[in-house]
Chains A and B, each alone.
Chain A
């Protein structure tokens, strides 16, 4: 078990290293940030001074080393654009992202779990097919398109909901739905398949043989078992929602972390992009690592494989 944990931790650190290196190189491919940060008529001296100030005059490997070393001490650097510590920016935006993710997650579970149960109980009948279409659309329609159509209908035609920004509950509805639909579809499919498996089990058969009403057979005996994998998936998805809701936050101008990332990319704000990607990546890698360990604790067969 100890060996298994060490090996998993090693994989996690390797993933993190590769992620940081990739994002470090990729942002630098997007172009020179100085061009966006200086006045059009700035002198060569000013440009050089700014380049030096941001450390962009150093060789690439030095820049990377600097990035990693300061990251490990908890210093994420200064934003080129806002001239404030990146960490402050991150924490400013975090509550908005948490709020959006929480509502979208609640929505995805409220839609996904009951419809997944319904689809499993009525397998191959009307509600199962309806659910399949709902899930197919949710998983395949691009979020920016869903967002734009919602804005068109509810803001432009009907005038019911604000098209962008934050502050009120009404602002939250469309972004949460757009973000939540995709995950509702994922949670629904997972609930359905896991429910189908459980419904075929002997203990569900015995529950029926005991003469329990179907509500107890499904709602008590089957559901609790079927939800275990759904909750695992939802846990991982929550981290994804918080950190990479880039498209949704951009379409609805929601001031969260996804939008911070989008701004960072547009302004070639290297420290912001690097920090957001590496923090988000770390969270996802950490959650996966914890899930791996939990599974090994639950299932002895996984432990033996190592």
Chain B
């Protein structure tokens, strides 16, 4: 990743501010992530950890109460944070596409599939109605929808959930974007359909050279799909790096706990492992590390001071004092005394 990355988030922060301005929710806080062309990045974290807000921040489609308060979103060499809305519209759907969580709700019930799939082509490329329709058929075919000629003229209620999610995928790739953000695209699908859909995404990625950001809380999907992983906790990226390294030796206690909470078939334990405590309230985060209250390895400094991102030797970063140069040794020394 020596050349310019496709997407580079630099100290990006997006906060929700209540109307009186008294309550600030740090939904995305000082996030730095790089993603090269054609790479796949998984973003995992509990509900409310800021994953979806991060995606909407990149799209610059935050709800009215939220705004970007700092940092840059460098995409294809330009900072999206500064882009006027009109230029941003040319990025959305054309250069960066996004797939939402709920396929049943993301298609408009009153328009035909062809209309909705062809829409980005008409808006971004000025395609004629007939041309957009023909290309919609081709797109349906490319997401493996059987008899696309008939399907194109049908309405969303005539499709199954798996088909609808494929159609949403077809909308996503319609303008050949460079980056596709998929926000838990398979949570509402059953397992077989899920696997098919993930394979489809992978094939599409290969065919079109897409970079993919995969937002999920399913670590199994991350292991299968992603090159890079970013673990989010309370709006911050607590650990990021190559998937295999993180899975083999998580540096952050939160990552460790997440990996430990996956039930395994070989496991004979009767109880599922859970992380003690609740995720913190993002509007009143603890003074130090936000994971410290739940962290089994926390020590005094964790509660006093939030750790910065420490770069590890193998290309990973971790926001944990344990990863600070020299800390592990000195702790060992303390324990030895």
Interchain CB contact (< 8 A) of A208 among B61, B101, B105, B168: B61
**Contact digits for B88-119, partner A, Cβ 8 Å, 1 yes 0 no:** 01111110011011100111111100000001
Known contacts A202-B100, A206-B100, A206-B171; is-contact A211 B106 (Cβ 8 Å): no
Indicate if A213 sits at the interface (CB-CB under 8 A).
Answer: yes
Report whether B107 and A211 are in contact in the complex, using a CB–CB cutoff of 8 Å. no
Number of interface residues of B (CB under 8 A): 26
Known contacts A201-B105, A202-B105, A202-B106; is-contact A212 B97 (Cβ 8 Å): no
Known contacts A203-B108, A221-B108, A225-B109; is-contact A210 B102 (Cβ 8 Å): no
Interchain CB contact (< 8 A) of B90 among A211, A221, A225: A211
Contacts of B105 on A, CB cut-off 8 Å? 201-203
CA distance A203 to B167 in the complex (A): 13
Across the two chains, which residue of chain A brings its CB closest to B88? A211
Report whether B100 and A210 are in contact in the complex, using a CB–CB cutoff of 8 Å. no
Indicate if A224 sits at the interface (CB-CB under 8 A).
Answer: yes
How many inter-chain contacts with C-beta < 8 Å in the A-B complex? 63
Of residues 245 through 275 on chain B, the ones whose CB sits less than 8 Å from some CB of chain A are none
Known contacts A202-B100, A206-B168, A208-B61; is-contact A213 B108 (Cβ 8 Å): no
Interchain CB contact (< 8 A) of B108 among A208, A209, A211, A225: A225
CA distance A297 to B97 in the complex (A): 37
Report whether A209 and B100 are in contact in the complex, using a CB–CB cutoff of 8 Å. yes
- Nearest CB of A to B1, in Å: 27
Known contacts A202-B102, A205-B61, A205-B100; is-contact A211 B91 (Cβ 8 Å): yes
Number of interface residues of A (CB under 8 A): 17
30 contacting pairs across A/B (C-beta < 8 A): A201-B105, A202-B106, A203-B109, A205-B61, A206-B100, A206-B107, A206-B171, A207-B108, A207-B119, A208-B61, A209-B59, A209-B61, A209-B97, A209-B98, A210-B93, A210-B97, A210-B119, A210-B123, A210-B171, A211-B89, A211-B90, A211-B92, A211-B93, A212-B89, A212-B93, A212-B120, A212-B123, A216-B123, A225-B108, A225-B110
CA distance A303 to B3 in the complex (A): 62
Indicate if B208 sits at the interface (CB-CB under 8 A).
Answer: no
Indicate if B124 sits at the interface (CB-CB under 8 A).
Answer: yes
CA distance A203 to B100 in the complex (A): 9
Other CB < 8 Å A-B pairs besides A202-B101, A212-B123, 6 of them? Answer: A202-B105, A206-B106, A206-B168, A211-B91, A220-B111, A224-B110
B residues adjacent to A (C-beta < 8 A): 59, 61, 89-94, 97-98, 100-102, 105-111, 119-120, 123-124, 168, 171
Pick the most buried of A209, A212, A224: most chain B CB atoms within 10 A of its CB: A209
CA distance A207 to B100 in the complex (A): 11
Across the two chains, which residue of chain B brings its CB closest to A221? B108
Report whether A211 and B98 are in contact in the complex, using a CB–CB cutoff of 8 Å. no
A residues adjacent to B (C-beta < 8 A): 201-203, 205-213, 216, 220-221, 224-225
CA distance A208 to B96 in the complex (A): 12
CA distance A118 to B244 in the complex (A): 52
Interchain CB contact (< 8 A) of A210 among B109, B110, B111, B120: B120
Contacts of B98 on A, CB cut-off 8 Å? 209
Across the two chains, which residue of chain A brings its CB closest to B89? A211
Nearest first, the 10 A-B pairs at minimum CB distance are A211-B93, A211-B92, A202-B105, A210-B93, A203-B108, A202-B106, A206-B106, A209-B98, A211-B89, A210-B120
Contacts of A207 on B, CB cut-off 8 Å? 108, 119
CA distance A79 to B91 in the complex (A): 72
Contacts of A213 on B, CB cut-off 8 Å? 89, 123
Contacts of B102 on A, CB cut-off 8 Å? 202
Contacts of A211 on B, CB cut-off 8 Å? 89-94, 120, 123-124
- Nearest CB of A to B319, in Å: 30
Contacts of A205 on B, CB cut-off 8 Å? 61, 100, 106
CA distance A224 to B116 in the complex (A): 14
Report whether B119 and A212 are in contact in the complex, using a CB–CB cutoff of 8 Å. yes
Pick the most buried of A203, A208, A211, A216: most chain B CB atoms within 10 A of its CB: A211
Contacts of B108 on A, CB cut-off 8 Å? 203, 207, 221, 224-225
Contacts of B111 on A, CB cut-off 8 Å? 220-221, 224
Pick the most buried of B94, B108, B110, B168: most chain A CB atoms within 10 A of its CB: B108
